[in-house]
Amino acid sequence: MNELLDHAAGFAALCFMVAMAFALARLFRGPRAQDRVLAFDALYITGMLTLLTLGIRARSTVYFDMALLIGLFGFVGSTALAKFLLRGEVIEP
Amino acid sequence: MTEIALSPWVAVPATVLLVSGGLLTLVGSLGLLRLKGFYARMHSPTMGATLGTGCVLVASMLVSSAVAHRAVIHELLIAAFLTMTAPITAILLMRAARSRTKPE
């Protein structure tokens, strides 16, 4: 049963890696800036999922903290970028 | 990988959840790459952000609860945080795209 779960975690990590490659391709190719911000949003969520999958594979809870931090800072970054595209200012006076 | 033997009642649902979460996220990201137009691309990564994340988080909760022999539910923190923050980014990005494509 453990081998089955490890193989499933490896498969999921592979899927997430390919998904991150797709998001990265959109990040480099995106015709406009909002496409790039959207690709960044998808990229950090997929990276967070990759860390959670590695945590399942290693049976460790250390990866959880990293995933939480990636979610936190990714939200801050993508919201700041979207706000900048919207108004030209991140924090308005 | 470790010597802790998980029971099939934990391993099989976690396996199914991991595989389906990985495939859902892959399909969502493929849509991000392949779809035409920003408004069409807007909705496809949300599949990975909602269903894929939910599947992986439930699998992680199952496995870590089975390893620790008690209920480990701190993955709900990520779920609640993502549920709160994903629409904020989506709304801001959509408004930015509208104001950038149609200047008046």
- Rounded Cα distance between A9 and B77, Å, is 21
How confident is the model over A86-90, as a mean pLDDT?
81
Tell me the residue range of the domain where A70 lies: 2-87
**Which chain B residue's Cα is nearest to A55?**
B60
> What CATH number is attached to the domain comprising A14?
1.10.287
The ipTM (two decimal places) reads 0.87
Whether A77 is in a domain gets the answer: yes
How confident is the model over B88-92, as a mean pLDDT?
91
- Rounded Cα distance between B39 and A57, Å, is 36
Whether A48 is in a domain gets the answer: yes
**Which chain B residue's Cα is nearest to A39?**
B32
Task: Give residue limits of the domains in chain B.
Answer: 11-101
A49 touches B26 (CB < 8 A): no
Q: What pTM does this model have?
A: 0.89
Burial of residue A19 (CB within 10 Å: 0-12, 13-18, 19+) is buried
Q: How many domains does chain A have?
A: 1
Question: For chain B, give me the number of helices (H) and strands (E)?
Answer: 5, 0
- Rounded Cα distance between B52 and B40, Å, is 19
* Chain B residues within 8 A of A52 when measuring between CB atoms: 56-57, 60, 75, 78
Whether A93 is in a domain gets the answer: no
B101 pLDDT tier (thresholds 50, 70, 90): confident
Task: Flag whether pLDDT at B18 surpasses 80.
Answer: yes
Task: Flag whether pLDDT at A7 surpasses 80.
Answer: yes
| Nearest to B55, CA basis, from B93, B28, B95 | B28
* Chain A residues within 8 A of B60 when measuring between CB atoms: 52, 55-56, 64
Query: What is the distance in angstroms between the Cα of B34 and the nearest Cα belonging to chain A?
Result: 9
Average pLDDT score, chain A: 89
Q: Mutation target for A interface from B27, B89, B94: give the one with most A CBs within 10 A.
A: B89
- Rounded Cα distance between B79 and A52, Å, is 12
pLDDT for position A51: 93
How confident is the model over A31-51, as a mean pLDDT?
91
Query: What is the distance in angstroms between the Cα of B76 and the nearest Cα belonging to chain A?
Result: 11
pLDDT for position B104: 53
B91 pLDDT tier (thresholds 50, 70, 90): very high
The CA R_g of chain B, rounded to the nearest whole Å, is 18
- Rounded Cα distance between A75 and A64, Å, is 17
